[in-house]
Amino acid sequence: MSALLALFGGAAATYLLRVLLVAVVPADKLPAWVREALPHVGPAVLAALIVGSLVHQGGIPALFTAGPAPFALLAAGFVAWRFRSLAAPMAAALLVMLAATPF
Amino acid sequence: MSLLQRRLRIDPAAVRDIAPMLLGMAPFGLLIGLTLGTHTVGAAAGLTSAALYYGGTAHLAALQLITAGAAPPAILAGVIAINARLLLYGAALAPRFADQPRWFRWLGAATVVDQTYALARPAGDPVGFRRHWLTMSATLAVGWLAGHVVGLVAGPVLPAWLPLGIAAPAMLVGLLVPHLKRRTGQTAAVIGGTVAALASPLPPGIGTLVGAAVGIVAATLVGRRR
């Protein structure tokens, strides 16, 4: 029962995080420095998420023991830059991973 | 525009925008479905919570913490740490929701996630923004949950060597690359990623949050210099 409460409590907390600055605090009430920083949220968060998925909790050294995943993501980055597609980078990363997988 | 599109107010461009994202999210959905298949919370609660979380990382972390026997406050703290970035997305999207009706601000915000944030239309056409956002969110929800169901049902027969885990970060790379045209975007990404790696030994989600925060500050300072 407590596990279910924690699971659905997490869902409720997630909703609150989403809605707080959209519906509760009006956008025009945000300080100027916050509005200035907002355009940088996307690249900073995305890069942090990508790196986090590679290193998990291992710190910088984990980048060098992450197997073919960093190369797969580099291939995805190249394909995204070259072809401006969202599906192609995933295909490229999967192909690199499959090529590096021993059968 | 077909009769069905007019009746349901579907924006075909939103379906086209989000469709490639579904390809990237499908393996992650499969993975969570696979986890739900053997989890103590059960399939019904697992799928319901998947719909409510509307995102995989925190949901999967919560399921793993439950399996590990973590106390409810620890599970809640983990979810909040991982999803704190949604607060930043909400702040960035707030101007675009500002001229929307109240019901949409409360309902639409429930689907703020990496993909919808990255593909949201600019402000200026409130009705167009709303239609695009709702179509995109509904399409993503259907595809995302379908992945869970497939994982739940077919998970046991999927080969173990399939590299499903790479699809989600590769999708994020596809979202990141367009930001790298600008100097400030490059700064935010390089500093954010480096600090996230340095801070990764911290509890789950905190390293990402610290990296993102430092990246945002660095890019803001670079933007002021120019």
Report how far apart, in Å, the C-alpha atoms of B173 and of each of B133, B168, B189, B194 are.
22, 9, 11, 15
Contact map slice: A 22-81 vs B, CB within 8 A: 22-23, 25-28, 30, 33-34, 36-60, 62-63, 69, 72-73, 76-77, 80-81
Select from A92, A96, A102 the least CA-distant residue to A69.
Answer: A96
* Cα A79 from Cα A88, distance rounded (Å): 7
pLDDT band at A9 (very low <50, low <70, confident <90, very high): very high
Cross-chain CB nearest to A80 (options B85, B109, B174): B174
| Model pLDDT, residue B71 | 81
- Residue A37, domain member (yes or no): no
Q: Which domain holds residue A18?
A: 1-30
pLDDT in tens, B10-41: 899 999 999 988 887 888 888 889 888 888 99
Q: Which of B176, B202, B209, B214 to mutate to test the interface with A (most CBs of A within 10 A)?
A: B176
Average pLDDT over residues A8-22: 95
Measured between beta carbons, the chain A residues lying within 8 angstroms of B64 are none
- Residue A84, domain member (yes or no): no
* Cα B25 from Cα A47, distance rounded (Å): 17
The nearest CA of chain B is from the CA of A28 a distance in Å of: 8
pLDDT exceeds cutoff 90 at B161: no
Residue with the two structure tokens 């497939």: B150
Report the SS3 class of residue B99. coil
- Residue A10, domain member (yes or no): yes
| Model pLDDT, residue A44 | 92
Interface check A99 vs B, CB under 8 A? no
| Model pLDDT, residue B6 | 60
DSSP label at residue A57:
T
The nearest CA of chain A is from the CA of B179 a distance in Å of: 6
Cross-chain CB nearest to A48 (options B53, B65, B211): B211
pLDDT band at B135 (very low <50, low <70, confident <90, very high): very high
Cross-chain CB nearest to A49 (options B24, B172, B194): B172
pLDDT exceeds cutoff 70 at B95: yes
Say how many domains are in chain A: 1
| Model pLDDT, residue B3 | 58
% of chain A with per-residue pLDDT over 70: 97
- Which tokens belong to B15? 């379906």
Do A7 and B49 contact (CB within 8 A), yes or no? yes
Q: Do A50 and B173 touch (CB under 8 A)?
A: yes
pLDDT exceeds cutoff 90 at B217: yes
Measured between beta carbons, the chain B residues lying within 8 angstroms of A18 are 86-87, 89-90, 109-112
Q: Do A40 and B223 touch (CB under 8 A)?
A: yes
Residue with the two structure tokens 């980055």: A77
Q: What is the pTM of this model?
A: 0.76
Do A89 and A77 contact (CB within 8 A), yes or no? yes
pLDDT in tens, B47-88: 999 999 999 888 988 887 788 777 888 788 778 877 888 988
| Model pLDDT, residue B171 | 80
| Model pLDDT, residue A74 | 96
Do B33 and B150 contact (CB within 8 A), yes or no? yes
pLDDT exceeds cutoff 70 at A27: no
B207: Cβ contacts below 8 Å, ≥ 6 apart: A48, A52, A57, B196, B197, B198, B199, B200, B201
User: How buried is residue B16: exposed, middle or buried, by Cβ count under 10 Å (0-12/13-18/19+)?
Assistant: exposed
Report the SS3 class of residue A101. coil
**Residues B121-150: b if buried by 16+ CB within 10 A, e if exposed:** beeeeeeebbbbbbbbbbbbeebbbebbbb
Cα B112–A69–B193 angle (5° rounding)? 55
pLDDT exceeds cutoff 60 at B214: yes
- Residue A21, domain member (yes or no): yes
pLDDT band at A18 (very low <50, low <70, confident <90, very high): very high
- Which tokens belong to B165? 């885990």
pLDDT exceeds cutoff 60 at B1: no
Interface check A86 vs B, CB under 8 A? yes
Angle, to 10 degrees, between the axis of helix B206-225 and the axis of helix B85-97? Answer: 50
Asked if the ipTM is above 0.85, the reply is yes
Mean pLDDT of all residues in chain A?
Answer: 88
Handedness of CA A78, A41, A54, B38 (dihedral sign): negative
pLDDT band at A101 (very low <50, low <70, confident <90, very high): confident
Do B148 and B47 contact (CB within 8 A), yes or no? yes
pLDDT band at B211 (very low <50, low <70, confident <90, very high): very high
Cross-chain CB nearest to B109 (options A22, A97, A98): A22
Top pLDDT among B158 and B121 is at B121
| Model pLDDT, residue B8 | 63
pLDDT exceeds cutoff 60 at B209: yes
- Within 10 Å of residue B25's Cβ, how many Cβ atoms? 24
Residue of A nearest to B186 (CA): A43
| Model pLDDT, residue B206 | 82
pLDDT exceeds cutoff 90 at B104: yes
A83: Cβ contacts below 8 Å, ≥ 6 apart: none
| Model pLDDT, residue B16 | 93
